[in-house]
Amino acid sequence: MTVTIYYKAACGTSRNALAMIRASGEDPEIIEYLDHPLSLAELRALIARLGIAPSELLRAKEAKAAELGLTRAAISDDALLAAMQAHPILINRPVVITDTGAALCRPSERVLALLANPVAVFEKEDGEIVHARHGG
């Protein structure tokens, strides 16, 4: 299975998702998007793959989002995409893409539904226990 994770090492949710991927036996491609910003075309393709609006990928709680006025209802998709391309910190994470689908994995256990062999039980960094759901 091919697994790609758009990742930020300082983000606990990203670290937990990556650990769940590795615990499932997968060796993912890790894209540290803050170090390697996505082009506008890559952002558009990622959003299309996720099947979401650009506003759903925006990390609205980042101070930069408010500073740039991106949380206003009237902001255009093109303006959001341009801001996320110029300031990758505005992209919510982690995003995981596999052969079976793609998702913004917040909470991190959303990644389990994308994996061929998810771990049955996983302990997150904070001690929370999550269980993979089978057949439903």
11 is catalytic: yes
| 72's tokens | 């206003």
95 and 13 Cβ atoms separated by less than 8 Å? no
3, 11, 38, 65: the active-site residue: 11
Q: Which strands form 101-104's sheet, in the order they lie side by side? A: 29-31, 3-6, 95-98, 101-104
Contact 59, 6 (CB under 8 A): no
Q: Which amino acid is at 102?
A: A
Catalytic residue numbers, as ranges? 11
